[in-house]
Amino acid sequence: MQAVLIKQHNRLLRLRIPNEVKVVYVWGKGLALFAQKKFKKGEKVIGLKGKLVAASTSTPEAIQVTGTKFLDTKYLVPEDFINHSCSPNTRLDLVKREFTAIKNILPNEEITFNYLTTEWDMKRWDTDFQCACGSPNCLGHIKGFRYLTHRQKANLKPLLSPFLLSKL
């Protein structure tokens, strides 16, 4: 376990990070989570902590679980630093509550997941953003699953949360 000091809400917090991963500052991108070891496809990369809270009281890092409930933590946790990618190397398994590798991940590779596989409407909560993941299938403005075309939604099917699967 490593510890990193992070300032949040004007308080200095000690962030505990499992040895398998590390938090790295990437210029132009901000903080990101990187692998410290090799993860095989199907392997757990990191767990997801949090409690179910109402959408209106959740933080921008919260993960959507149902139409009205989000999984959230009061303070930052290492998995909050997993950035979005349109070609991610993990998927979020909300049943096991973990980020699972969907391809082999090498040490010093950034750990990513596709926010559009859990978030229905990010525009509504002002968490939409312009993606710069650089992948050939980059979707550009990331606004939420509801804004995708039918084909784009269907392409994400194997990675979707149970809630978004119900929206297909």
Phi, psi of 64 (to 5 degrees): -75, 130
Does residue 156 interact with Zn ion by CB under 5 A? no
Q: Which residues of 66-89 are buried (b: 16+ CB within 10 A; e: fewer)?
A: eeebbbbbeebbbbbbbbbbbebb
Does residue 138 interact with Zn ion by CB under 5 A? yes
Nearer to Zn ion, 92 or 133 (CB): 133
**What residues between 19 and 78 interact with Zn ion by CB under 5 A?**
none
Does residue 86 interact with Zn ion by CB under 5 A? yes
For the beta carbon of residue 98, count every other beta carbon within 10 angstroms.
17
Nearer to Zn ion, 141 or 157 (CB): 141
Nearer to Zn ion, 94 or 133 (CB): 133
Q: How far is the CB of 112 from Zn ion (least distance, A)?
A: 10
Residue among 133, 156, 160, 164 that touches Zn ion (CB under 5 A)? 133
For the beta carbon of residue 142, count every other beta carbon within 10 angstroms.
22
